[in-house]
Structure 1
């Protein structure tokens, strides 16, 4: 079972989690996502919440609804998502992270980029 937090609405947390999976190529472009019912059961949430999360991904141009067939990953979704995520990281997360590293006195030499 997934644990949700109070930082954002559950539908947004689910949309973010599904987007992360899309970024990892799961499911691949052109393939279908699991049904709303399946996702609702998997994440133990209301199907309306799942529908709202999927609609958010449609609005972002990552998914498309095929009448009677479900939601499918759009061609180019991974590249679009990768660009957006990189931009967000560089604009929002990296400056905070860089400042924290500076405050802690850590340099690039202290960081391990590859798994040991």
Structure 2
């Protein structure tokens, strides 16, 4: 089992980073009815999106750029999670602005 982890260490770290960012985005973004989605469904959606995006993201990272030490990894994962939450909140603000613009246009007509 240890040889599998050592063989795919690069991909596992990239997957964890992508999962942290996508998870933060899904947790904060109001995509459709995302607030009414159950927690297992949100988790499944985050893992599925991370699995889809990991091959794309792993090509853009050199193995020397990734954090292999546990403290550095936790710090990098926390920063990815925070960045995902910021992206999710930015999407929420854009959606609220579009909703407000629609209400203003509806009141003018």
**TM-score normalised according to structure 1 size:** 0.29
> TM-score when scaled to structure 2?
0.30
More helix by share: 2
**Higher strand fraction (1 or 2):** 1
Larger RCO (CA under 8 A, 6+ residues apart):
2
